[in-house]
Every structure is written in C-alpha cells, then in structure tokens.
Amino acid sequence: MHWTQRILTSSLLLAMAISMPATHAQNPASTSASSEQNWWKNAVIYEIYPRSFQDSNGDGIGDLNGITTRLDYLKDLGVDAIWLTPIYPSPQVDFGYDISDYENIDPPYGTLADFNHLVAEADKRHIRIIMDMVMNHTSDKHPWFIQSRSSKTNPYRDWYVWHDGAGETATSPGVPPNNWQSDFGHSAWEWDPTTRQYYYHKFYIQQPDLNWNNPKVHEAFRNIIKFWLERGVGGFRFDAITTLFEDPQMRDEDVLKDKNGQSFRNVYGDIALNDTRTNNLPEVHDVMQEMRTTADKFDSNKFPGTRVFIGETYLPNIGELAKQYGAPGKPEFQLPMDTQIGFINKLDIAAFRSRIDDAETKLNGNTPLLVFDNHDNPRLDARYGDGVHNTDIERVISTMLFASRGASLFYYGDEIGMKTTPPTRKEDVKDPVGITGWPKDKGRDGERTPMQWDAQANAGFTTASAQPWLPVPPTYATVNVKAEESQPDSMLSWYKALIQLKKNNPAFAHGDNVMLDTANTKVLSWMRQTAGSPSVVVSVNFTAEPQTVSLTVPGAGSGIKTLLKTPGAAEPASLGSIHLGPYGVFIGSVQ
Ligand code: GLC
Ligand code: CA
C-alpha cells in the first residue's frame, strides 16, 4: 500500500471483505565515537519541504539559503537531522520528485555552494542533512530517458521499462501490455510513438520507472550516493522504495472487491486494483543491502558518524516492516518508517495500543521510526482532529510521537499547529494529482503551504511583492513561530518540552516501552523504563470526556512527579488517580 491509498484506507478497509493483515541517547551534541555511531537511535528528525520553508531572495519560492537562516530555530527546537525533499534540478511536475540531474541543485533552490554552506552551518549545530533519494524513476527530461526513448538500440534503452502493446498494428498502438495503474491515476503505461513501445510509470507520465534489472542502473545510483556522501550528508530518505521492481511475467494486478464481492472505483475513477505485482517485490532487499554496503564502506575523516538510511516504507503489516532492517550481516535501513502507527488516521485506541506495542516487540529490537505526517497527506488536523479539540488532539499525537521508544520524524509546521489548507478552486491547484482527482482528491497543496514564521505580510516566508508559490493560510496571524515562542502554553512550547524530555530523561531517551492498563478503552497509558533511572508513565485521553486512570507500576510506589501535562490540568497526587481533561495528556516520573 502506498500513500496514494491514504484517503481510501479506512473506508476501503471497512468496505472490503478483507481486513488489515495481523496488525499488528546519546547526547547529540557530544562528539564521542559512540554518539556519532548511534545518533539516530532516538533522533528527532524534521522534514522540510524546501519550496515552502523560507524564501531568501524574494521570488516566492523557498530555498537553501532560507533554510540556513532558520538553523538556529531548528537547533533551539531540538532537531538532530533535517530531511530535505528533493532539491535537484527538475521540471517540477511532481515538485522535485521528477529529477533530471541527481548531482546538482535546482536553480530556484540555490547552488551546490549554497548546499555546502547549509551542510557546514548545520554541522556547527550538530544537525545532519538527509537527502531524498528517488531511485524508482527519473524525470522524462533526464538525459538517460531522452537517450532511452530515442531508439530501441540506444545504450540507455534498457535503463527503463519498455514493452510492446497488445494488438499493435502499423497504424495503432493497440492497448497497454497489462492492467497496471499509476498511483496517480489511470494506466501506468505510456505509448511512445518514436519507438512504438510503451514505457512504465508507477507515478506521473513524466516519471518513467528505471529498470532495476540493469546493473548499470545500480552502478549509477551507487555513484550518486557517494557524490552526496562526499558533501557530508547525514544519510538518505529513500523515496517510494518498495516500488523498484515489477513482476517479470507482467501478470495483471488483481481487481479488489468490496464486501458484496463487487469491484469498485478509486478516487481517479479507475477500477481499484491490488498492487502485489508492482509493489514490495523481494528484490528490493538486495538493492538496499547493496546501497547500505556502499554507504557503510564510505570513509570520511571530515564527516564521521553513521549515515542513516530512512525508508518510505508503506507496508501492509509489521512483519514486512521488520524485513526492511535487513538480516544479520546484511543490513538495509536503520530507520524504515513505521507507517503502521502514524497513518491509522483515526483515534482508535486499540489500534494504537497494539501497533505501538508491535513496534516494541516485533521489530527484533531494531529502532522504530515513528511518523504521523508528511508532504503527501493532509496534516494532523484533517486526519485526526474532531474540529473542536484539534489542538488537544495534536498534543495527543505528538505525545505518541516523542514519548514512544524510537526515532521521531515530524513535518515542518506541525510544531506550531499548522492546519491543512487545500485549494478551493480547481484552477488554483498546483499538484497534478489534485487536478486528476478533483474534487474528491484535491491533491497535496493543502499540506505544503508556506511556513508561518510571524504575523507580517506572507507570514515572514517571503519578502516577495509577488505571491508565494502557494498562498499563506489565513491562520498565520495567530499560528506562527514568533507568537508561539513567547507563549508557554503554545504548541511550539509543547513540542520543545516533549523533545527535551526525549533527549534528557534517560527513561525517555532509551527506556523500554511497556503498555499499562491495557484493558482501558478510553485512555492509552504506557511506561518507559530503564535501569538506574525512575520510570516514566504517560497517559493520553483518547476521548472528548474527562477520564481518570489508576496506574500501577510493578515494583514501584504510587508517588508521581509531573513532568509535562496539558496546560491548565491539575497535577495528580498519586499514580492511583490521574485526571485527564478531554484529549488530555499527562507525563510523570514514578517516585
Ligand atoms: C513519494 C513522495 C511523493 C512523490 C512520489 C513519487 O511517495 O513522497 O511526494 O510524489 O514518491 O516520487
Ligand atoms: Ca527563493
């Protein structure tokens, strides 16, 4: 399952006869060898959509120099690493995920010199830069594809996935080789008249899939990875990684059936299909082992420390996620994203309890990477909010994100409570998927609006007299960094407090994650526990009504010291009686 099935997930699973398969610190500022090796294990990773973060030259488009000017803010927030969505030269059909040169910077974002400057300035603050690595496809304007499509005998022909149509005649292309669909709607095959064959594209037509059965493709990406390692990056986030391979026999995908046994249409109006022939094929593991070997062998005195591999790993169950870490002696990702937890997309306490527990017990001791939000999904308010208690619900979500064991990844703007702001008119839509899917799927513009820095014009994102590339949401007057920095009860202060606990409290930083009070259907409670430090308990109210919980921690008394709680809530006197307001949160140290 890929994110494009995001809006379908809950309704689809209810509608379909099938159900989800069994769901189920180091101080980063220290420079000791061990902390350099293990920095990612409880890392706080911040996703930046560069186009929307900070414009430095007044053209209405965010850029690298803009990010550099905001590093002190990120340092203060407690960020260890920044993942940048793609900044390479690109026709920008998919806003950078269609790459035409993997070893340069797209001019609107700056230059390689600006990039080096960003890495150096980030390094001074012990912040790592993570690059987005798109290996499934290139832009159709990449020189490899321009060559590939030029003739059937071109040396680059076999770098992409070409196939004859069915029933082709001298005058007609016939029909695509099989029923495979693009995740962005309609057939995944595009007829190319020059050589009279179809090419495969899992995403937009302008994103032809690379052929990973060709060793030259492997070699090209090993070199690209080394190119960026030379520049001191802290690692990579591998885009759409599960989609690298397709069924060599080209078999049709199965048609999905609803609970009445009928096929149905997806948001693009296409017959909904399964994706077992084009997603999560086992050969991906070999590629990731190869890339990990490449990175692990890379030696640099200038930039010591582990390079982390993060995976965009939307997978159907915890077992498939566990495989992404690799086998003993054959490592793959350190941090494949656990989308099992963060994209449940409703406050279903049983699902959260079992899936957070799965991350603790079914990943063979590996580090989970929790993530609840990104540039492909409506923001937290739209997926978890009830319209009344959104702020409190965002506190609930961020508590699960930072107070569970593992690394935490979050999306720019969540720390100030930015809201999803989709376009209201089709003619304003920038993300092509929103044009294909309008009005059911308005695309991804709503979660990509400019960062809200202050209450000045354009929220401090740009000095442009022209408009920013996407409009600044009207909420910026109150939802902005400057205002929230001075408010102890703001979302920003809440994020900072959680991140500080995650880094400085030993039980939070490294402790085991143990579920408590597991029969409770209203309040999710868990404990973090490590030898030599007081245990910490966390309770979050999943309901709009006040709740009281009574917890017992084996081997401990009932004394409790408040570490963090929803603003305005009373401090509990004992573990036996913790009162929580609607969607309230309590975190305390067991005495
Ligand atoms: C990933 C990216 C998404 C992009 C797609 C195709 O899912 O997160 O933004 O459109 O891959 O590259
Ligand atoms: Ca700019």
- Residues in contact with 22: Cβ distance below 8 Å, sequence separation at least 6, in sequence order: 317, 318, 319
Cα separation of 160 and 183, whole Å?
Answer: 18
3-state SS of 189-253 is EEEECCCCEEEECCCCCCCCEECCCCHHHHHHHHHHHHHHHHCCCCEEEEECHHHCCCCCCCCCC
The pTM for the full model equals 0.94
Please check whether residues 355 and 489 belong to one and the same domain: yes
Nearest to 537 by CA among 524, 546, 547: 524
Residue 479 in any domain: the answer is yes
State in Å: Cα 204 to ligand 1 middle. Answer: 10
Residue nearest to atom 12 of ligand 1 (CA): 97
Please check whether residues 427 and 551 belong to one and the same domain: no
Residue 506 in any domain: the answer is no
Sheet holding 512-516, edge to edge: 512-516, 523-529, 536-541, 585-590, 560-565
Cα separation of 470 and 85, whole Å?
Answer: 17
Please check whether residues 285 and 307 belong to one and the same domain: yes
DSSP secondary structure letters along 78-98: T-SEEEEPP-SS---TTTTSS
Question: Which atom of ligand 1 is the closest one to the Cα of 202?
Answer: 6
Give the residue numbers spanning the domain of 84.
10-135+215-246+281-431+474-498
Residue 313 in any domain: the answer is yes
Residue nearest to atom 9 of ligand 1 (CA): 376
Q: Probe ligand 1: pick from 203, 237, 313, 375, max atoms within 8 Å of CB?
A: 203
Q: How far apart are the first and last CA of the chain?
A: 44
- Among all bound ligands, the one having the nearest atom to the CA of 183 is 1
Residue 147 in any domain: the answer is no
Sheet holding 162-163, edge to edge: 162-163, 197-200, 189-192
Please check whether residues 427 and 562 belong to one and the same domain: no
- Copy the structure tokens of residue 4: 């494009």
The CATH number linked to 525 is 2.60.40.1180
Contact by Cβ (8 Å): 573, 550: no
Domain boundary among 441, 463, 498: 498
Residue 534 in any domain: the answer is yes
Please check whether residues 524 and 479 belong to one and the same domain: no
Residue 463 in any domain: the answer is no
- Among all bound ligands, the one having the nearest atom to the CA of 136 is 1
Cα separation of 247 and 402, whole Å?
Answer: 39
Please check whether residues 235 and 119 belong to one and the same domain: yes
Please check whether residues 490 and 557 belong to one and the same domain: no
Q: What is the pLDDT of residue 172?
A: 81
- Among all bound ligands, the one having the nearest atom to the CA of 106 is 2
Question: Which atom of ligand 1 is the closest one to the Cα of 98?
Answer: 12
Please check whether residues 489 and 517 belong to one and the same domain: no
Q: What is the CA radius of gyration of the chain?
A: 24
What residues are in contact with ligand 1 under a 6 Å CB criterion? 3, 94, 97, 134, 203, 239-240, 312, 375-376
Nearest to 3 by CA among 425, 433, 328: 433
Cα separation of 451 and 421, whole Å?
Answer: 12
Q: What is the pLDDT of residue 305?
A: 74
Please check whether residues 426 and 538 belong to one and the same domain: no
Question: Which atom of ligand 1 is the closest one to the Cα of 184?
Answer: 10
- Copy the structure tokens of residue 14: 């209810």
The CATH number linked to 81 is 3.20.20.80
Residue nearest to atom 11 of ligand 1 (CA): 240
Mean pLDDT of the residues in the chain: 93
State in Å: Cα 240 to ligand 1 middle. Answer: 6
Please check whether residues 522 and 375 belong to one and the same domain: no
DSSP secondary structure letters along 121-158: HHHHTT-EEEEEEE-SB--TTSHHHHHHHH-TTSTTGG
Task: Per-residue pLDDT tens, the chain, 591 aa: give them.
Answer: 455 544 444 333 333 333 333 322 333 334 466 777 889 999 999 999 999 999 999 999 999 999 999 999 999 999 999 999 999 999 999 999 999 999 999 999 999 999 999 999 999 999 999 999 999 999 999 999 999 999 999 999 999 999 999 988 877 888 999 999 999 999 999 999 999 999 999 999 999 999 999 999 999 999 999 999 999 999 999 999 999 999 999 999 999 999 999 999 999 999 999 999 999 999 999 999 999 999 998 876 666 678 999 999 999 999 999 999 999 999 999 999 999 999 999 999 999 999 999 999 999 999 999 999 999 999 999 999 999 999 999 999 999 999 999 999 999 999 999 999 999 999 999 999 999 999 999 999 999 999 999 999 999 999 877 789 999 999 999 999 999 999 999 999 999 999 999 999 999 999 999 999 999 999 999 999 999 999 999 999 999 999 999 999 988 889 999 999 999 999 999 999 999 999 999 999 999
Residue 47 in any domain: the answer is yes
State in Å: Cα 556 to ligand 2 middle. Answer: 56
Residue nearest to atom 2 of ligand 1 (CA): 239
State which H helix or E strand residue 575 sits in.
Answer: none
Residue nearest to atom 3 of ligand 1 (CA): 376
Which class for 463: exposed (0-12), middle (13-18), buried (19 or more C-beta within 10 A)? middle
Contact by Cβ (8 Å): 452, 424: no
Into how many domains does the chain fold? Answer: 2
Which class for 351: exposed (0-12), middle (13-18), buried (19 or more C-beta within 10 A)? middle
Please check whether residues 226 and 125 belong to one and the same domain: yes
> Catalytic residues, which ones?
239, 312
Residue 447 in any domain: the answer is no
